[in-house]
Structure 1
Amino acid sequence: MRIALLIILSFCFSPAQAVFNIKQVAQGIYVHQGLIELPDVHNHDAIANIGFIVGKSCVAVIDSGGSPEQGRLLKKTVEKITSVPICYVINTHVHSDHIFGNRAFNNINNIKYIGHEKLSRAMSARGPFYIACSEEQVAVKLTEKDIIPPTIAVKNNYKLDLGGRVLILKAHPTAHTDNDLSVFDKKTNTMWLSDLLFIGHLPVLDGSLQGWLQEIRKLEKRQFDVVIPGHGPIVRD
C-alpha cells in the first residue's frame, strides 16, 4: 500500500477553510479533499475533491473548485509543487463545486479545457441559475465570465498524454449527471471517479439512478490501487 505524502500549504481562504490541504495520493497525483458539507455561505462551495496530475511535460488539473478564489488557490498550489506547466483543466461534470475555479487558469497561454461532450450544453443550461443564486447561497459573486465550457469534448474515450504519463478520460452514459467524465491514470492504476462515487457524504443524483448503479457495477469489476471520489476520503486497494 502506498504511503500518502501530506503537503500543507497555508493560504488564506475563508474561516471554514483557512488551510488549503493537498495530499499526494499516488506518484504525481495530488488531491485537495473538500469539506463533507452541503454548500453554504460559510464554505463558499469548497466541498468537492479537486486536484491535479503531473506529467513530464504537462499538468492536468481535475476540477477547479466551487469559486474563482478556490481556483486561484489550486493554481498557486500547482505552481508551488512543480515547475511543469499547466496545460489542461478537466471538468468531470457540470456541478458548481467542480467548475467555478476555471477562470483562474484563463491567463495561461494555450490552456485547454476538457469535458464530456454534453458538458457545454449543461453549462449553458445551468449557468444563469448558478450565477443568479451564487451570492445568496454561497456568498460568492459569479458572472458570465465564470462559465468556461470545454474546448475539447470527449464523446467516448480520450487519451491525454502529459509526457510519460497517459490519462484515459471516459465519457460515461447518464449516471450521476448526463455529463460524467472519469480519469484513469495508467501509470499508478489510479481512478479519479469524481461524483460517480460519494464516500461519507449523502449522494446527489442529477441524472439516472438506474444508470448510476449500472456504471458503479461495471467499475466494481475492475481493480484499482487508488480511487478518488468526488466527495469523501481516498480509497486504496
Structure 2
Amino acid sequence: MKQPVLHWLGGIALLALSLNTWAADKPIHQGMVDNYKAEKVSDHVYVIHGPAGLPDKENQGFINNPGFIVSDSEVAVVDPGSSDAIGRAILAHIRKVTDKPVTKVFITHAHGDHWLGNNAMKESNAGAKFYASAGMIEEAKNGAGDSWIETMNTMTENATAGTQLVIPTEVVTQDQEVKVGNLTVKAHLVEGKAHTSNEVMFEVVEDKVLFTGDTISNKRLILMDEGSFPGSAKNAERIVAMGMKTIVPGHGATGDNSIVTAYGDYMSKVYEGVKTLRDDMEAHEMKPKIAEQLTAYKDWHSMEETLGKHISLAVLEAEQEDF
C-alpha cells in the first residue's frame, strides 16, 4: 500500500507545481480563485457564481456563472467566462475538485462574457471540443468574436488584454445528446428569441440540471437589446414544463423553477404593460405605471436604471408586432 500512496502524493505535488508554473507564465484572475468558490449544486455539477454588475476593471470581466460537470472520466465546462485569465481561474477551481481532463466546452450564446475563456480550456487540452449553435458560430466568425474581445478590453480597461479567440466548431442540434463520460448533456435550442437569437440551454440529464444561459437571470435585470420580452416569457414556460430539479441561470444564484417563473412573470408584465399603455402615453411616461405592477421585483439588481430601457425596447417590439 505504501508505494501507491507515495506515487499518488507525488502526482499531486507535480500537479501543484505545474499549476504554479502555468499561473506564473500566463495571466490568471487571482481574485476569482481567492474570493469565489465552486459550489456543488448537484451530484456532478459545480457553479462559480459571478458578481452582479457589468464588466469593469475591478471584476476584470467576471460576471457570469461558469459551470463544470465532473463525470467518471472527464470534465465538461459550460460558459467559461470573458477572458483567458478567467478561464484559467475556472481551471484552478476545477483542479481543486478533480484532475480529470477538460474534454468538452458548451457555449449558450454569443455574448462574450460567456465564452471568451475558451482558449484557457484549449490550453489545458488541445483536443477539447467546443459546442454551440450554428447561429452562434456564424455570428462569432462574422465579427462578433473580435468585437467582443475589443468590448471586454474597453470595459475592463484592458484587464482582459491578451485573450485569444477560440470559436466553437461543434454544431449542436435540437435535443442532441453528448456523452461526457458516464453522463449525458442534452441541447435545448431556444425557439425564436429570448435573450438573443441562436441560444442553447444545456441539460445534465442524470442530475436534472439545466444551464439556461441568459434566457433566465435570477434577481438581476440584464440587457435585452437583442432579445424578445414575449419570447423570454414563452421560454420560461417551456423550462418549467421540463421538470428540472436545478436551474443554473446565466447570472444570479442557482435555484429551482421558482426563479424561472419569476423571470418570465417580469418579462410578461413589462410587455403587457407596454401594450396596454402605448396608445395613451409615450415610453418615458410609462415607467411609474409599469413599476406599480413590478413591486415584487423592486429589489432586483439594476432595476432602477434598467426598467426604463426595457420599457423602450418593449415598445419597439410591440410596434413591430403590428406589422
TM range (shorter): 0.7 to 0.9
**1:57 Cα shift?**
2.2
State the SS of the aligned residue for 2:139. helix
Q: Output the amino acid matched with 1:119.
A: M
Once the two structures are TM-superposed, the CA of residue 146 in structure 1 deviates from its matched residue by: 2.4
Distance 1:154 1:232, change over 3 A: same
Specify which structure has the higher proportion of helix: 2
What is the CA RMSD across the aligned residues, in angstroms?
2.1
Q: Hey, what does 1:118 align to over in structure 2?
A: 135
Distance (Å, rounded) in 2 between the aligned partners of 1:182 and 1:78: 22
- Work out whether residues 46 and 65 of structure 1, in 8 Å CA contact, stay in contact via their aligned partners in 2: yes
Structure 1: give runs of 5+ residues left out of the alignment: 1-10
Which sections of structure 2, spanning at least 5 residues, go unmatched? 1-22, 258-323
Question: Is the 1:22–1:31 contact (alpha carbons within 8 Å) kept by the matching residues of 2?
Answer: yes
- One-letter code of the match for 2:47? V
AA in 1 matched with 2:112: S
1:230 counterpart residue number: 250
**Structure 2 residue 207 is the aligned partner of structure 1 residue 188:** yes
User: Quick one: which of 233, 237, 249 aligns to 1:217?
Assistant: 237
Q: TM-score, normalised by structure 2?
A: 0.65
Contact 1:36 1:200 in 2 (8 A): no
Deviates further, 109-118 or 131-140 = 131-140
Would the alpha carbon gap of residues 214 and 17 (structure 1) be closer, same or farther in structure 2, given more than 3 Å must change?
same
Alignment partner, residue 168 of structure 2: 150
Among 60, 63, 67, which residue is 2:83 paired with?
Answer: 67
Highest RCO, 1 vs 2 (Cα 8 Å, sep ≥ 6): 1
Residue 130 of structure 1: aligned partner: 148
User: Tell me, what secondary structure is at the counterpart of 1:221?
Assistant: helix
Q: CA deviation at 1:227?
A: 0.7
> Any idea what SS the aligned residue of 1:30 has?
strand
Give secondary structure in 1 for the equivalent of 2:147.
Answer: helix
- The whole-number CA distance in structure 2 between the counterparts of 1:161 and 1:96 is 26
1:85-122 CA distance string (max 9 Å, x none): 21101111111111111110123131100011111122
State how far apart, in whole Å, the 2-side matches of 1:69 and 1:16 are: 10
TM-score by length of 1: 0.87
Counting aligned pairs with the same residue, the percent is 24
**Residue 182 (structure 2) aligns with:** 164
Count of paired positions: 226
Secondary structure in 2 matching 1:203: coil
Q: Is the 8 A contact 1:16 1:42 kept in 2?
A: no
Tell me which structure has the larger Cα radius of gyration. 2
The alpha-carbon distance between structure 1 residues 159 and 131, as it changes in their structure 2 partners (threshold 3 A), is: same
Task: Pick the structure with more strand per residue.
Answer: 1
Residue 109 (structure 1) aligned to one of 117, 126, 150: 126
